[in-house]
């Protein structure tokens, strides 16, 4: 399928479409492209192949017993960012570790400027994304419950029935009902029935970091099928170091890479030539590659005439609490499943702007065994067990709200010249920053959410055990923001670089804002829409 020829210095691999990165977005884009048209597709992944499903049960056993990493060599020494960035550079990317939580963004997330006068609108509306959300749900397999249609609009039903509420969550739902909050089963990329040739979830409860039975979707399943069909060539252990623009035009001519497993410490050079290049390397490594691709002709890196590559890095913070409730709960029934609502996505225009999701889990916080009693005496034998039982007659709920953070232009990924990898390339530095309007709203937002938690606790005759704010931006995205205006964005809504007609960036890096919910499904919907344009090339 692939033309391979030796040159004097660098191996050359040619294809129609070269996809850089093999995470969840790359997997679904490749799968869609393969279905839509005949094309030679090569996927380049810096990391190794991942741990096969057949070995995950044993790896999980050691994770549960000792806390060992279940993923083997899932990272590359020297390839790391300064700032929030999970270490997962392998076939399948970060979604080998993910929890499989797959809510959609709400329609309002795409229109915050038009509706509420804050932040920026996306160049694509929820209604346009709805069929691609459904396509993503179908491809990875999402089990979900239809929420109230006014809050949770969708054009098609979920491909699988919802993960059922546990006994605990049913009790907690009665509690949130009493507080006037409509909640439902969190959509998840976990099989509630056999789906995609994979097993039904059996509540091992270690979805993150590892599902031992394959009930949770992970991108290796898609890659295994694509590789077996010989319709995609995946080249692992090969790090793309820069994209090179063709002389006399703005087209990308090649991706220069190094095979890490050949050629000793310096690796073996390899050039990928293609008609179309798709950068699908996630929020950190996508803008990083564009910035690394600087040259005399493009001193700011490629696709960066606007100066926007690496800018507007985005995400969301959360406020959390643990609420003691007079309920007999049984921690451990399915700790990773939760209730969710979108009731707080639509603030009144008369109120000061606050938008957030809300989730509720069972919890064992405040209910764990301890060594000493209230009098400070060491508890042994039956006394320790009796003490634990006495403190476990009531339950604890974990509540958490992701709230909207509007990114600043200088919320940025830059090249850190003081930290270089084995090949001499500077590594990324990530600095997240709220826009001034978001910073001004922060205290009000967090106080409002804490007040909601207090109101919920009172409705259940409970009390807050503790609450706090996780002071980092979760589900990071951005850095190659999409937009209609080439002066203020890197790519158009189809992921095509404004500056290079045969270069696409897909998924998370193209996000305009982080929304108020886990963002992977949105990244996928956006990427599948972008794949329609790539497929027309």
Partner 1 sequence: MERVRGPRAILAAIATPSQRSPNAALIQALGDAVLPVELGAGGVTRAVAEFQRWMDGYNPGAEANHGYGTGRIGQLPADPRPQWRSQLAALDADARRTGRPFSDLPRERRQALVRAALHNERGDALPNPLLARHVALALLAHFYDSPAATDLCYEAQIGRQQCRPLSAQRQEPVALVRNGR
Q: Is 384 in the site for partner 1 (CB under 8 A)?
A: yes
Instruction: State the Cα–Cα distance between residues 97 and 239, nearest whole angstrom.
Output: 21
What residues from 215 to 254 belong to the interface with partner 1 (CB under 8 A)? 237
Between 246 and 261, whose beta carbon lies closer to partner 1? Answer: 261
**The total number of residues written for the chain in this structure:** 537
The span of 159-167, 319-327, 339-347, 398-406 binding partner 1 (CB under 8 A) equals: 159-167
Least spacing, CB of residue 200 vs partner 1, in Å: 6
Between 164 and 426, whose beta carbon lies closer to partner 1? Answer: 164
Q: Which residues of 393-420 are buried (b: 16+ CB within 10 A; e: fewer)?
A: eebbbbbbbbbbbbbbeebbbbbbeeee
Between 66 and 155, whose beta carbon lies closer to partner 1? Answer: 66
The span of 118-126, 272-280, 377-385, 480-488 binding partner 1 (CB under 8 A) equals: 377-385
DSSP labels for 377-405?
A: PBP-THHHHHHHHHTTSSEEEEEEEEEE-
Between 299 and 376, whose beta carbon lies closer to partner 1? Answer: 376
Least spacing, CB of residue 447 vs partner 1, in Å: 25
What residues from 109 to 148 belong to the interface with partner 1 (CB under 8 A)? none
What residues from 261 to 280 belong to the interface with partner 1 (CB under 8 A)? 261
Instruction: State the Cα–Cα distance between residues 239 and 262, nearest whole angstrom.
Output: 12
**DSSP letter at 151?**
T
Least spacing, CB of residue 415 vs partner 1, in Å: 16
Among 276, 334, 445, 493, indicate the residue that binds partner 1 (CB under 8 A). Answer: 334
What residues from 50 to 79 belong to the interface with partner 1 (CB under 8 A)? 51, 54-55, 57-59, 61-70, 72-73, 75
Which of 188, 260, 255, 186 is closest to 217 using CA atoms?
188
**DSSP letter at 501?**
T
Q: Is 389 in the site for partner 1 (CB under 8 A)?
A: yes
Please tell me whether residue 5 adopts helix, strand or coil conformation.
strand
The angle formed by the CA atoms of residues 102, 216 and 157, to the nearest 5 degrees, is 45
Least spacing, CB of residue 184 vs partner 1, in Å: 15
Instruction: State the Cα–Cα distance between residues 506 and 528, nearest whole angstrom.
Output: 9
What residues from 421 to 480 belong to the interface with partner 1 (CB under 8 A)? 472, 474
Instruction: State the Cα–Cα distance between residues 306 and 162, nearest whole angstrom.
Output: 44
The span of 26-34, 381-389, 433-441, 500-508 binding partner 1 (CB under 8 A) equals: 381-389
Please tell me whether residue 94 adopts helix, strand or coil conformation.
helix
Q: Is 332 in the site for partner 1 (CB under 8 A)?
A: yes
Between 223 and 353, whose beta carbon lies closer to partner 1? Answer: 223
The span of 102-110, 326-334, 479-487, 507-515 binding partner 1 (CB under 8 A) equals: 326-334
Between 295 and 472, whose beta carbon lies closer to partner 1? Answer: 472
100 exposed, middle or buried (CB, 10 Å; 0-12, 13-18, 19+)?
buried
What residues from 162 to 221 belong to the interface with partner 1 (CB under 8 A)? 163-167, 170, 192, 200-206, 208-209, 213
Q: Which residues contact 195 (CB under 8 A, 6 or more apart)?
A: 141, 159, 160
The span of 23-31, 238-246, 376-384, 500-508 binding partner 1 (CB under 8 A) equals: 376-384
Which of 60, 84, 119 is closest to 282 using CA atoms?
84
Least spacing, CB of residue 424 vs partner 1, in Å: 19
Among 12, 80, 227, 251, indicate the residue that binds partner 1 (CB under 8 A). Answer: 80
First to last CA, the chain: 19
The span of 122-130, 289-297, 370-378, 523-531 binding partner 1 (CB under 8 A) equals: 370-378
Q: Are the C-beta atoms of 396 and 402 separated by less than 8 Å?
A: no
């Amino acid at each position: 399928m692939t033309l391979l020829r030796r040159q004097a210095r660098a191996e050359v691999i040619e294809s129609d479409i070269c996809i850089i990165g093999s995470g969840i977005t790359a997997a679904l884009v490749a799968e869609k492209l393969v279905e839509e048209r005949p094309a030679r597709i090569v996927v380049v992944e810096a990391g190794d192949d991942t741990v096969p499903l057949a070995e995950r049960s044993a790896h999980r056993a050691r994770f549960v017993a000792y806390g060992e990493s279940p993923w083997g060599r899932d990272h590359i020494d020297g390839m790391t960012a300064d700032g929030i960035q999970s270490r997962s550079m392998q076939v399948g990317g970060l979604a080998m570790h993910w929890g499989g939580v797959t809510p959609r963004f709400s329609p309002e997330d795409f229109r915050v400027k038009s509706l509420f006068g804050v932040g920026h609108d996306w160049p694509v509306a929820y209604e346009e994304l709805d069929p691609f959300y459904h396509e993503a749900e179908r491809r990875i397999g999402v089990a979900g419950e239809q929420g109230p249609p006014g809050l949770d609009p969708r054009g098609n039903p979920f491909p699988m029935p919802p993960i059922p509420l546990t006994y605990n969550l049913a009790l907690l739902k009665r509690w949130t009902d009493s507080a006037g909050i409509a909640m439902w089963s969190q959509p998840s990329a976990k099989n509630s029935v056999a789906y995609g040739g994979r097993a039904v979830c059996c509540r091992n409860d270690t979805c993150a970091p590892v599902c031992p039975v394959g009930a949770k979707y992970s991108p290796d399943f898609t890659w295994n099928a694509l590789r077996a069909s010989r319709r995609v060539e995946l080249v692992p252990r090969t790090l793309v170091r820069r994209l090179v623009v063709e002389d006399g035009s703005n087209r990308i001519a090649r991706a220069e890479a190094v095979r890490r497993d050949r050629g000793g410490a310096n690796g073996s050079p390899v050039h990928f030539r293609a008609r179309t290049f798709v950068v699908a390397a996630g929020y950190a490594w996508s803008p990083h590659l564009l910035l690394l691709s600087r040259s005399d002709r493009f001193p700011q890196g490629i696709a960066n005439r606007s100066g926007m590559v690496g800018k507007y890095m985005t995400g969301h913070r959360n406020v959390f609490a643990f609420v003691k409730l007079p309920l007999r709960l049984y921690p451990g029934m399915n700790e990773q499943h939760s209730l969710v609502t979108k009731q707080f996505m639509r603030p009144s225009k008369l109120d000061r702007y606050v938008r957030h999701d809300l989730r509720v889990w069972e919890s064992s916080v405040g209910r764990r065994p301890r060594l000493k009693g209230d009098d400070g005496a060491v508890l042994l034998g039956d006394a320790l067990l009796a003490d634990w039982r006495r403190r476990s007659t009531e339950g604890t709920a974990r509540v958490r709200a992701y709230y909207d953070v509007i990114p600043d232009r200088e919320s940025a990924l830059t090249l850190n010249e003081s930290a270089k990898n084995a090949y001499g390339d500077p590594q990324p530095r990530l600095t997240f920053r709220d826009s001034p309007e978001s910073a001004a709203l922060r205290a009000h937002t967090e106080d409002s959410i804490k007040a909601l938690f207090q109101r919920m606790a009172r409705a259940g005759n409970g009390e807050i055990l503790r609450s706090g704010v996780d002071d980092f931006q979760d589900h990071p995205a951005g850095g190659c923001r999409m937009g209609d205006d080439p002066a203020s964005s890197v790519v158009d809504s189809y992921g095509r670089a404004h500056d290079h007609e045969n270069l696409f960036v897909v998924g998370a890096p193209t996000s305009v804002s982080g929304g108020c919910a886990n963002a992977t499904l949105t990244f996928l919907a956006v990427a599948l829409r972008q794949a329609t344009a790539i497929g027309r090339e």
